[in-house]
A and B are shown apart, each in its own frame.
Chain A
Amino acid sequence: MAGELPFEKPLVELHDKIKELRRFTEEKGIDFSDEVKRLEQKAKELADQIYGNLTPWQRVQLARHPERPTTLDYIQLLFTDFMEIHGDRLFGDDQAIVGGIARLDGRPVTIIGNQKGKDTKDNIRRNFGMAHPEGYRKALRIMEQANKFGRPIICFINTSGAYPGKAAEERGQSEAIARNLRQMATFGVPIICVVIGEGGSGGALAIGVGNRVFMLENSYYSVIAPESAAAILWRDSSLGMRAAETMKITAPDLLELGVIDGIIPEPFGGAHRDVAMQADAVKKVLLEQLEQLSQLSPDELVQDRYEKFKQIGEYASL
């Protein structure tokens, strides 16, 4: 198992031991098959125990797994005829966000997504998936185009947050995000958002105002990355684990809070264990939801989205 996470270590060690015993059996002709069987049973139980009881912090780690499928992976597996389109026509082409048009089961759709890199070089080009204002403005331009041509919009959310940098502030990071939030509320086409990894703060929400919002089982969605929350709340960014446990950021939490519409199950051990299977699960949901939303008129879609967000929040009355 490549890229294992700390909490998976006992399982990895067990698998290594099983492998070693098998090699012994082959090389030395000593029969360890009973022992192997016993250990395999144990490994299965251990895996059930670990993956069946993932803590919020463990899910955060899975959501950030370097091998976790990205927007471009899903685009490749779910759609046909994808054509990437570039640039905000104002300043530049932010590679931290990708967008384009493609077909989903033959039907033209517009796709937007945060894009993390696959390796260090790619990550530098994509700024680790943290967009500048031009990224959000590119997304808006592409979404406006979708609205013009009546194409549904599908957003894949996967960012630790909008980039907190000098140039980003100078070019109006706040304004870019705010404008997307307002404009996404006006589009008369179906918008479906799927959090595929990290749903970090305003940088995630800026492409997240959908009629339907789904989360993969091991993704998270939070007002701020857990480490930053810890820095603010307790002045100690190393308390990210505690923040993750306290702040209700997992898919089941958000479903309970009424923020999302559903959870898309992941393969055992996380999306990266079986990317094709994961893509199928996502596709199934997209097709179902698109079918439902296509029944609504443009005005109804706008109203539907308004009501969805209007009801989020909890308060009491004196």
Chain B
Amino acid sequence: MLKDLFGKKRKFATVPSENLTRVPASGDQAKEAGVREKEVPEGLMNKCPHCGTIHYSKDLEKNLRVCKGCQYHYSISAPERLALLLDDGVLTEEFDTDLITSNPLGFPGYLEKLEQDMANTNLNEAVVTGEGLLEGNRIVVGVMDSRFRMASMGSVVGEKITRAIERAIDRRLPFILFSASGGARMQEGVLSLMQMAKTSAALAKLDRERLLYISVLTNPTFGGVSASFSSLGDYNIAEPGAMIGFAGRRVIEQTIRQELPKDFQTAEFLLQNGQLDMVVHRKEMRSTLAKLVEMHTSTPREGVETWQESSPLKSLS
């Protein structure tokens, strides 16, 4: 037994601490050159960037990549998110996998960076869209993947989200989008900015069709993404501790020249300020979403009166 303890200790020592970043700094717009949250380092152990608790990677996976010590929600990739969310863990149909980014402004070095991210993530761009089953309910879903250019929004991300919304309208299905993004993608300049208008206009159509849209904001959601589709849900839900805002903390501190409260721009801060409907733990996310979807799609069960039928005002009309 004593021997085992020593064995464990040696494993602790292998944690590559220089690779562990603190809580990811809130990104302003596409802060892609900089801090990207470290994925689980290869190896057996992982140290929570928030509280320093050390986990076995295997345990962390089992706990849906949430720290047991402080409930810090690690970023997860789009495929991982879909695995947690959908029946059978995968989309029944993936949309627009053929769309790839060109370099409309001729921005130096942009295409090389994209190729790198495509190779690393096995994705065509920073959002995965498609149709899937959520506890038996058909939904159209989009998930942004922060491993790809910090999931900043350029032409392809805007187009894929817009097309997903249009498909939700065609198929008359609820739309759920998980956002995580540094904001608009600098390298596509004003074209990125216009994707905000494009996606929001598509949501206006969805809205007019009285179809459900649930926006799930995950860490981090900033800038042009936060200021367009992410804030427009019929329900806006965030994961605990997610950093969400329009401008980044650093920019604001420089502008107003005062220090901001510690919890500034956290999901809990937004909830308190009336900007979110709820903060939902990753463990509860699937069931919460399913419940919401069913609340909007299920026909009233037999024997249950609708509100109008049971209203005392009924006798007056």
Chain A: residues with CB nearer than 8 A to chain B?
162-166, 168-175, 177-179, 181-186, 201-202, 205-206, 208-209, 221-224, 228-229, 232-235, 246-249, 254, 257, 259, 305-306, 309-310, 312-318
Contact = CB atoms under 8 A, between A and B. Distances in A.
Of all A-B residue pairs in the complex, the 3 with the closest CB atoms, nearest first, are: A164-B247, A313-B155, A181-B200
A232 B31 contact: yes
Contacts of B224: 201-202, 223
B33 A232 contact: yes
What range describes how many residues of B lie at the interface? 35 or more
30 contacts: A164-B246, A169-B247, A171-B273, A173-B245, A177-B227, A178-B227, A178-B228, A178-B229, A182-B200, A186-B207, A186-B208, A201-B193, A224-B29, A224-B184, A232-B33, A232-B186, A233-B33, A234-B33, A248-B189, A248-B190, A257-B190, A259-B191, A306-B205, A309-B197, A310-B201, A312-B191, A313-B156, A315-B99, A315-B159, A318-B97
Contacts of B195: 312-313
A257 B155 CA distance: 12
Contacts, number: 202
A259 B190 contact: yes
A169 B158 CA distance: 24
B112 interface: no
Contacts of B158: 313
Given A223-B189, A232-B33, A165 B201 contact: no
Given A169-B246, A223-B189, A254-B190, A246 B29 contact: no
A91 B201 CA distance: 26
Given A202-B196, A313-B194, A315-B156, A209 B201 contact: yes
Given A179-B232, A315-B155, A315-B156, 13 more contacts: A163-B255, A166-B260, A178-B200, A178-B227, A201-B224, A202-B227, A222-B193, A223-B29, A223-B184, A228-B29, A232-B28, A313-B191, A316-B99
Given A164-B252, A229-B186, A306-B205, A174 B227 contact: yes
Interface string B22-33: 000000111101
Given A169-B245, A175-B231, A223 B192 contact: yes
Contact of A208 (B34, B155, B197, B252): B197
Nearest to A168: B246
B124 interface: yes
B19 interface: no
Contacts of A246: 105, 107-108
Nearest to A311: B198
Nearest to A306: B201
Contact of B100 (A169, A209, A313, A316): A316
B186 A233 contact: yes
Contacts of A162: 227, 246-247
A254 B98 CA distance: 27
A174 B245 contact: yes
Nearest to B96: A317
A260 to B, nearest CB: 9
A235 B33 CA distance: 9
B190 A310 contact: no
Contact of B29 (A171, A208, A232): A232
A248 B107 CA distance: 10
A317 B99 contact: yes
Given A178-B200, A185-B201, A166 B246 contact: no
A314 B194 contact: no
Given A310-B201, A317-B99, A259 B232 contact: no
A309 B246 contact: no
B7 interface: no
A182 B30 CA distance: 22
Pick the most buried of B184, B186, B188, B251: most chain A CB atoms within 10 A of its CB: B186
Contacts of B229: 178
B56 interface: no
A223 B227 contact: no
B251 A164 contact: yes
